[in-house]
Chain A
Amino acid sequence: MPKVAYFRVTPERQQILLKGLVLSICCVLAFCVRLFSVLRFESVIHEFDPYFNYRTTKFLTEEGFYSFHNWFDDAAWYPLGRIIGGTIYPGLMVTAATIYKFLHFINIPIDIRNMCVFLAPLFSSLTTIVTYLLTKELSNSSAGLLAAAFIAVVPGYISRSVAGSYDNEGIAIFCMLLTYYFWIKSVKSGNVFWSVLCSIAYFYMVSSWGGYVFLINLIPIHVLFCIITGRFSHRIYVAYTTVYCVGTILSMQISFVGFQPVQTSEHMGALGVFGLCQIVSFVAFLRKKLSAANFAILWQTMLYLIGGVVIAAVLVLTVSGKIAPWTGRFYSLLDPSYAKNNIPIIASVSEHQPTTWSSFYFDLHMLVFMFPVGLYVCFKDINDHNMFIILYGVTSMYFAAVMVRLMLVLAPVMCILGAIGTNHVLTSYMKNLDSVQVVKEKKGPKGSKVDNTYPAKNEVAIGVVLGLTLFLGLFATHSIWVTAEAYSSPSIVLSARSGDGGRIIFDDFREAYYWLRQNTPEDAKIMSWWDYGYQITAMANRTIIVDNNTWNNTHISRVGQAMASTEEHAYEIMRELDVDYVLVIFGGMTGYSSDDINKFLWMVRIGGSTDRGAHIKETDYYTPTGEFRVDSEGSPTLQNCMMYKMCYYRFGQVYTEQNQPTGYDRVRNAEIGNKDFELDVLDEAYTTEHWIVRIYKVKDLDNRGNPRT
Chain B
Amino acid sequence: MSSESAYSVVAKFMEDYQVKTSQKLKIIDLYLGYILITGVIQFVYCALVGTFPFNSFLSGFISCVSSFVLGVNLRLQVNPENAKEFKSIAPERAFADFLFAHVVLHLVVVNFIG
Query: Is B86 a contact partner of A196 (Cβ separation < 8 A)?
Result: no
User: What residue in chain A is nearest B67 (Cβ atoms)?
Assistant: A245
Closest residue of A by beta carbon distance from B54: A259
In contact, B73 and A245 (Cβ under 8 angstroms): no
For the complex, is A297 an interface residue (Cβ under 8 Å from B)?
Answer: yes
Is A242's CB under 8 angstroms from B4's CB? no
**Interface residues on chain A, number (Cβ under 8 Å):** 33
| Interface majority SS (helix, strand, loop, mixed), chain A | helix
Instruction: Indicate with 1 or 0, residue by residue over B11-35, a CB within 8 angstroms of chain A CB atoms.
Output: 0110011000000000000000000
Instruction: Determine if B59 is an interface residue (Cβ-Cβ < 8 Å).
Output: yes
If A253-B108, A259-B58, A297-B5 touch, whether A192 touches B85 (CB-CB below 8 Å) is no
- B-binding segment of A113-121, A286-294, A364-372, A416-424: A286-294
Q: How far apart are the CA atoms of A234 and B74 in the complex, in Å?
A: 11
Q: A196-B101, A253-B111 are in contact. Are A245 and B65 (CB under 8 A)?
A: yes
Within 8 A of B (CB), among A172-198: 189-193, 195-196
A301 and B89 CA atoms in complex are apart in Å by 37
Shortest C-beta distance, A298 to chain B (Å), equals 5
B72 A241 Cβ-Cβ under 8 A: yes
A contact residues around B101 at 8 Å (CB)? 192-193, 195-196, 242, 246
What residues of B have a CB within 8 angstroms of the CB of A193 in the complex? 97, 100-101
Chain A 233-272 interface 0/1 with B at a Cβ cutoff of 8 Å (1 = within): 1110110011001101110110000010010000000000
* A528 touches B (CB below 8 Å): no
Distance, CA A195 to CA B76, complexed state (A): 15
Contact of B98 among A192, A233, A290, A293 (CB under 8 A): A192
Known: A293-B4, A297-B5, A301-B6. A192 touches B109 (CB 8 A): no
Q: Which of the residues B9, B73, B85, B94 comes within 8 Å of A297, measured between beta carbons?
A: B9
Tell me which residues across on chain B come within 8 A of A249, comparing CB atoms.
Answer: 58-59, 62-63, 66, 105, 108-109, 112
Of B4, B101, B109, most buried by chain A (CB within 10 Å of CB) is: B101
Query: How many interface residues does B have (CB within 8 Å)?
Result: 42
Q: Is the CB of B104 within 8 A of A238?
A: no
Q: Shortest Cβ distance from A358 into chain B, in angstroms?
A: 46
User: A241, B85: Cβ atoms under 8 Å?
Assistant: no
Closest B residue by C-beta to A305? B6
B1 touches A234 (CB 8 A): no
Residues of B contacting A196 in the complex (Cβ-Cβ under 8 angstroms)? 97, 100-101, 104
| CB–CB A245/B100 < 8 A | no
- Cβ of B4 and Cβ of A297 under 8 Å apart? yes
Identify A234's interface contact among B6, B85, B104, CB under 8 A: B85
In the bound complex, residues from chain A placing their C-beta under 8 Å from that of B89 are 189-191
Q: Which residues of chain A (192-210) have a CB below 8 Å from chain B?
A: 192-193, 195-196, 199-200
Contact B73 A238 (CB under 8 A): yes
Question: Please, which residues of chain A bring their CB within 8 A of the CB of B100?
Answer: 192-193, 196
Residues of A within 8 A of B98 (CB): 192
Known: A192-B101, A298-B9. A242 touches B88 (CB 8 A): no
For A570-590 the 0/1 string (1 means CB < 8 A from B) is: 000000000000000000000
Partner of B97, one of A192, A286, A301: A192
A200 to B94 Cα, complex, angstroms:
19
Task: List, in ascending order, chain A residues with CB within 8 A of B66's CB.
Answer: 245-246, 249
**Contacts of A250 on B, CB cut-off 8 Å?**
108
Bound-state CA distance A237–B74 (Å) is: 12
CB distance from B32 to the nearest CB of A (A): 13
Residues of chain B within 8 A (CB-CB) of A253 are 108, 111-112
Q: In the complex, given contacts A192-B73, A199-B104, A250-B108, what are 6 additional A-B residue pairs having Cβ atoms less than 8 angstroms apart?
A: A234-B82, A237-B73, A237-B76, A246-B104, A289-B13, A290-B13
Query: Residues on B close to A: CB < 8 A?
Result: 1, 4-6, 9-10, 12-13, 16-17, 54-55, 58-59, 62-63, 65-66, 69-70, 72-74, 76-77, 82, 85-86, 88-89, 93-94, 97-98, 100-101, 104-105, 108-109, 111-112
| 13 A–B pairs (Cβ distance < 8 Å), ordered by A | A189-B89, A192-B101, A193-B101, A196-B97, A199-B104, A238-B77, A249-B66, A249-B108, A249-B112, A252-B55, A294-B12, A294-B13, A297-B6
